[in-house]
Amino acid sequence: MDAHLITKIIHMSAVSLLILVFVARAATLFINVKNQQPNANARKSLVGMQHLSLTLIIVTGATLLFMNNFDVKPWFYAKVILFFVLWSSLIKTYKNDNTILLVQRRAGLLIGSVALIGILGLVMIKPVFA
């Protein structure tokens, strides 16, 4: 196998891990919620897996970009913007702050879900703007 394929496999595995962690952390906003805070059970492991997956996505994405000589399609920029929206919504949704209401956290989760679905849609459809 060549390096490009291995990097793609690692990238997509990290995306799969992110989706699993996204769903698992989303469940903490609905099960055993106390004081407007997400359920604290398994918080450290979920945060660690989320950080690992996001770091792998960024590193392998940059590596793939370099391997492709920075030749990108127009939808790539939309994907990057949606990634930052996802990242920002995850930070704000799970911020350890008692002043953030549970409704606001769930709204952040909805925004993150829309961004994640948008990213996956762009990757699958690969729209052509001509």
Distance, C-alpha 103 to centroid of its chain = 21
Confidence of residue 81 (pLDDT cuts 50, 70, 90): very high
Q: And the tokens for 121? A: 């849609």
In tens, the pLDDT along 4-45 reads 999 999 999 999 999 999 999 999 888 888 777 787 778 889
Considering only CA atoms, which of 53, 43, 48 is closest in space to residue 15? 53
pLDDT of residue 91: 93
Q: And the tokens for 52? A: 């690992």
Mean pLDDT, residues 88-93 taken together = 94
pLDDT of residue 47: 92
CA distance 113 to 106: 10
Q: Is the confidence at residue 128, as pLDDT, over 90?
A: no
Would you list the domain boundaries of the chain? 3-125
CB–CB of 18/53 below 8 Å?
yes
